[in-house]
Each structure stands twice: as C-alpha cells, then as structure tokens.
Amino acid sequence: MTDSAKPKNLTHANGAPVTDNFNIMTAGPRGPALLQDIWLLEKLAHFDREVIPERRMHAKGSGAYGSFTVTKDITQYSKAKIFSEIGKQTDLFVRFSTVAGERGAADAERDIRGFAIKFYTEEGNWDLVGNNTPVFFLRDPLRFPDLNHAVKRDPRTGMRSANNNWDFWTLLPEALHQVTIVMSDRGIPKSYRHMHGFGSHTFSFINAQDERFWVKFTLKTHQGIENLTDAESAALIGGDRESHQRDLLTSIDKGDFPRWTLYVQIMPEVDAVTYPLNPFDLTKVWPHKDYPLIEVGVLELNRNPENVFAEVEQAGFSPANVVPGIGFSPDKMLQARLFSYGDAQRYRLGVNFNTIPVNAPKCPFHSYHRDGAMRTDGNHGARIGYVPNSYKEWQDRPELNEKPLALRGDAWHWDHRLDDDYYSQPGDLFRLMTPAQQQVLFENTARAMGDAAPEIKQRHINNCTKADPAYGAGVAKALQAADALAAAE
Ligand code: HEM
C-alpha cells in the first residue's frame, strides 16, 4: 500500500489514537452513555466552543492574499520602505465585507463595503482599513456605537428597522453625503471586484527629510465599476446569498486576478491651516481639482485562503498599524479607531491575536509583551522580559520618531456643528449624477425608507432640499409614488 493510500490515523487532542468515532460508549446496547467516553466529551466540548464572537460590524466578509507593486516614485512624500523603489513588491492580505449584516447575511445587500488591507512590509504591518466610499456618516466617534444600534436590529422586534435607521441618519445632517452614496447606483456593488476603495480618513506621510504631508488614499478598480439594482440584488439573493464570496473565490481560482491602482492625494502640512475645508473632516472629500490623484502602484489579489476561519475570520486589521513614513492625523474619528480595533480584537481573538499567522508581521518582531491566553509562539523562551537591561536586548528607536506635530487649543467638548456646511458636497455629488442616476437615487431612497414615520421622511426631504432643491423634490415625489403603490396593494 502506498503512503497516500494508507488511511490516516485519527487522534485525540493528546495524540492518542481514537478507537471508535462511530459508536459512543454505553452501558449495554440500549444503555445510557458513560462519562468515561472521553472521545465523546472531547468532541462535543470542542464543538461547543467553535464559534467566536463575530465582528460587531463588518461581520460578513471574504479574504484573499496578493501583492502590491510600486509603479511610481513617491519617495518625496514618504520614506516608508514599501514605496522605496519602482517595481518593489510587498505581500498583503485583503478582507472585504458588508457592514450592517451579521456573519450569515447575504452579500448583495445595499450597504457600504469594507476594504481592509494588511501590507506585510519589511518594517512591520501597515493596515489600510477603508471602505468603498470616500466619506463616512459621522465626524464624531461618540456617535459610532449609536450608528450601529440604529442600522442593526431593533431591540424589541429583533428585526432591522427603516424607522430607526432613518431617524438616526436624518438627525445627523453630516451623514447626508454618505447616505447619498449608499442610496445611489453604487450602493450595491455587483461584487467586491467591481468597486473602488478608499482610506477615507486623512493620514500623514513623512519623508526622509522629515517633512510631513497630509494624505488620502484611493484604490481604483481595474475591473470597472459595476452595480446591482434593488431588483437585481433581490433576485440574486434569492438564489445565492454568497454572491460576492463566490465571485472573488472563483475568479482567483481560475487565475483571473483582480487588480486596483493605488493613488494618493497629497496636501503639504501647512495647507491644512488655510484650506477652506477642515481637511480632517471624514464627511468631506478633498476635490481632485485641489489635490489631484497621484499614482503609486498596483494591488493584485492572486491567492485564496486555505481555511476561512483561520485566515479570514481570525484576521484582525487596525488603523493603528502603521510603519515609519506613514502616520495619523488629527481626525477625531481616526483617533478613536486607533483604540477600538485592537480592543475589539483582544476581546474577539484574545490578547495574543497578533501571533495568529494571518496577523503576524513577516519581518522579525520582538516585544516585552509576555504570556496571556493562547500564547503558542514560544513566548520568547528564556529571554529576559524587562528593560532597561544590561544585555542589549530589544531597544526602542528614537531616531524613527516622527517630528513633533504642533497642536494647540483648549481642552473642551468642542461642538463640531460650528462647522456646519453639511450640504455643499452632497449637493455637488447630486449635480454630478446624470438624470437617470438621480432618478435611481430617488427611488432607492424611497424603497429604503420603507415604513419609516412620515416626519422622518419629511426630515430627509428637508435635508436633501438644502443640498439641492431638485434632490429634495425628487425624493419627495418618489416617496409619494411609493406610498401610492403601498396604498393600492
Ligand atoms: C471593523 C470600530 C469607523 C472600516 C470595525 C471593528 C470595530 C470598528 C470595533 C471590528 C474590528 C474587529 O473585530 O476586528 C470603528 C469605530 C469607528 C469606525 C469605533 C469610528 C469611530 C470606520 C471607518 C471605516 C471603517 C470610518 C472606513 C473608512 C472598517 C472595516 C472593518 C471595520 C473595513 C472590517 C475589518 C475587517 O475586515 O476585519 N470597526 N470603526 N470603520 N471597520 Fe470600523
């Protein structure tokens, strides 16, 4: 018998052979089970613990490995080694996701999409944890848990609630920009391959001369933008709840590797003071006419994970994962995210989540963090775990510190509504749409508002009118038509 033809032995977790995986041990053929059937106990006990907490949002997702290749020189803006020369390749892992649905939700729902990238650079992991939209609903992180409570299930009915969702959104006029995108024809991408990606926040670059630039990231799909209508998505979900996962998996399996070009927008540090918009406001874009897109390189996905739980479910991304040459900005939303992701992963995956292979850096990594649940990497063996020490064990690198960032201002709960231009950019976006796209926006909005209370619908019409009177009028008309249709049924 060849080795591959030989049956492979099943063992207990302790390595001992399992003698019977088909008949539990009982007292007599009809008798009750015996506690000494340790295989039954082990098998059930492991099964009972198979499910880990799902991500609070972005629970449904798909992942793939790939690489990033530099095509243009941006070393004048960033000293990050990932960008150091044209042609340089860096391995990466991407996880795409929907946001509001739970782990078993259908893929083709109207929602924003997560686009999280982990670049395994030679100086540590850089995570760009973005979405398929350039802006977000909020600009104060205190609202983030509320956003999720409003778009997820109602506490009494256990069902999603258009009323809760739109009550919340319409009370936050800064959400209108993002709401306009989600209700537009781009609100249901055909697949993860057919959408752009955005870092959304403003981040910073530091170059070798220690100059700081503010930067935004955009990824443009090579597959083209393709979307689904509400009717197409309803029909699709009826037959296939995993359409995005299937699309990504099969296209990579057959060698049709999806690609995106990465671009940056660069703002010199001093411009932030005089630029008419708050460049750290996540509800606004930087118009390309002010800060054009600069090409950086191409991201390709070319390998599917072997095991979805190990590599996709256990993946942990965080905006806090940056490397020398790439940094943060004063964006309050970004600042809050720097805490929330690692915190969620310590809860969801355990304190040693960074040693899980998909999360572990591919460069050497050393720290004095020790012990903790599920420490499986040897825990640095006999090495001492304190600093300062006399043995030249791992030292920090002050020479890599960013230059100081000048901050000023009195500590206070500053009202971000004092900067109250919520409407110009959603209005600009609306006016960029063709009449057909505007009509799709009106009708998608009316369907999505469903059975929300009339005063909530009116509040949305008022917000849209402030962005553009034609936007408000179009939504009002579509809502009337939807009401007439519902009354006739
Ligand atoms: C996932 C918090 C805003 C993109 C998550 C998770 C948390 C979180 C706790 C789950 C992490 C995990 O369990 O691994 C927050 C907070 C925000 C915020 C507190 C605002 C204050 C944003 C924004 C974006 C974004 C603005 C995009 C620009 C994502 C993505 C994921 C995610 C893509 C899924 C990552 C993955 O695939 O594992 N967020 N988030 N989030 N968030 Fe946010």
- Whether the Cβ atoms of residue 149 and residue 219 lie closer than 8 Å to each other: no
Residue 143 beta carbon below 6 angstroms from any ligand 1 atom = no
* Helix ranges restricted to H, 321-468: 332-348, 424-432, 435-449, 454-467
Q: Inform me whether the pLDDT recorded for 315 exceeds 70.
A: yes
Domains 7-50 and 61-362 share a fold: no
At residue 3, the pLDDT reads: 62
Which strand (E) or helix (H) includes residue 267?
A: strand 259-268
Mean pLDDT of 444-455: 97
- Whether the Cβ atoms of residue 368 and residue 361 lie closer than 8 Å to each other: no
Which of 320, 316, 263 is CA-nearest to residue 294? Answer: 263
Angstrom distances, CA of residue 128 to CA of 23, 48, 161, 284, 317: 50, 34, 31, 19, 8
CATH (residue range 61-362): 2.40.180.10
Q: Which atom of ligand 1 is nearest to the CA of 97?
A: 37
- Whether the Cβ atoms of residue 248 and residue 258 lie closer than 8 Å to each other: yes
3-state secondary structure of 485: helix
Which residue do the tokens 């965080």 mark?
318
Pocket test residue of 93, 218, 317, 318 for ligand 1, highest count of atoms within 8 A of CB: 317
Any residues with CB less than 8 A from the CB of 377 and at least 6 apart, and which?
352, 355
At residue 450, the pLDDT reads: 95
Q: Kindly give the distance from the C-alpha atom of residue 341 to the centroid of ligand 1, in angstroms, as a whole number.
A: 7
Pairwise CA distance, residues 124 & 250, whole Å: 31
For 158, half-sphere exposure in the C-beta direction (CA atoms, 13 angstrom radius) is 0
Which residue do the tokens 């650079």 mark?
121
Q: Which atom of ligand 1 is nearest to the CA of 145?
A: 19
Q: Kindly give the distance from the C-alpha atom of residue 189 to the centroid of ligand 1, in angstroms, as a whole number.
A: 19
Q: Inform me whether the pLDDT recorded for 1 exceeds 60.
A: no
Any residues with CB less than 8 A from the CB of 458 and at least 6 apart, and which?
none
Looking at the structure, give the CATH architecture of the domain made up of residues 7-50. Answer: Irregular (4.10)
Pairwise CA distance, residues 375 & 349, whole Å: 12
Residue 203 beta carbon below 6 angstroms from any ligand 1 atom = no
Pairwise CA distance, residues 248 & 223, whole Å: 12
Instruction: Kindly give the interhelix angle for 176-183 and 435-449, rounded to the nearest 10 degrees.
Output: 100
Residue 193 beta carbon below 6 angstroms from any ligand 1 atom = no
Per-residue pLDDT band at 146 (split at 50, 70, 90): very high
Which of 173, 419, 416 is CA-nearest to residue 276? Answer: 419
Any residues with CB less than 8 A from the CB of 152 and at least 6 apart, and which?
57, 100, 160
At residue 488, the pLDDT reads: 85
Per-residue pLDDT band at 419 (split at 50, 70, 90): confident
pLDDT, tens only, 188-236 = 999 999 999 999 999 999 999 999 999 999 999 999 999 999 999 999 9
Pocket test residue of 341, 346, 416 for ligand 1, highest count of atoms within 8 A of CB: 341
Which of 455, 80, 43 is CA-nearest to residue 296? Answer: 80
At residue 152, the pLDDT reads: 96
Pocket test residue of 56, 57, 115 for ligand 1, highest count of atoms within 8 A of CB: 57
Q: Which pair of structure tokens corresponds to residue 181?
A: 């995108």
- Is omega for the bond preceding 388 within 30 degrees of 0, making it cis? yes
DSSP class of residue 458 equals H
Mean pLDDT of 398-414: 92
Is 58 an annotated catalytic residue?
A: yes
pLDDT, tens only, 165-178 = 999 999 999 999 99
Q: Which pair of structure tokens corresponds to residue 51?
A: 């499910």
| Exposed e or buried b per residue across 153-182, where buried means at least 16 C-beta atoms within 10 angstroms of its C-beta | eeeeeeeebbebbbbbbbebbbbbbbbbbb
341 in a known ligand binding site: yes
Domain definitions of the chain by residue range: 7-50, 61-362, 422-487
Angstrom distances, CA of residue 159 to CA of 151, 152, 153, 198, 241: 10, 8, 5, 30, 18
How many Cβ atoms sit within 10 Å of the Cβ of residue 149?
Answer: 13
At residue 412, the pLDDT reads: 94
Q: Which atom of ligand 1 is nearest to the CA of 347?
A: 13
pLDDT, tens only, 8-50 = 999 999 999 999 999 999 999 999 999 999 999 999 999 999 9
Q: What is the mean pLDDT of the chain?
A: 96
At residue 7, the pLDDT reads: 84
**Phi, psi of 160, rounded to the nearest 5 degrees:** -65, 145
Which residue do the tokens 């024809």 mark?
185
Pairwise CA distance, residues 259 & 302, whole Å: 9
- Whether the Cβ atoms of residue 81 and residue 74 lie closer than 8 Å to each other: no
Which of 289, 290, 281 is CA-nearest to residue 331? Answer: 281
Per-residue pLDDT band at 239 (split at 50, 70, 90): very high
Is 389 an annotated catalytic residue?
A: no
Instruction: Kindly give the interhelix angle for 424-432 and 176-183, rounded to the nearest 10 degrees.
Output: 20
Q: Which of 58, 196, 201, 244 is catalytic?
A: 58
pLDDT, tens only, 62-79 = 999 999 999 999 999 999
- Whether the Cβ atoms of residue 133 and residue 198 lie closer than 8 Å to each other: yes
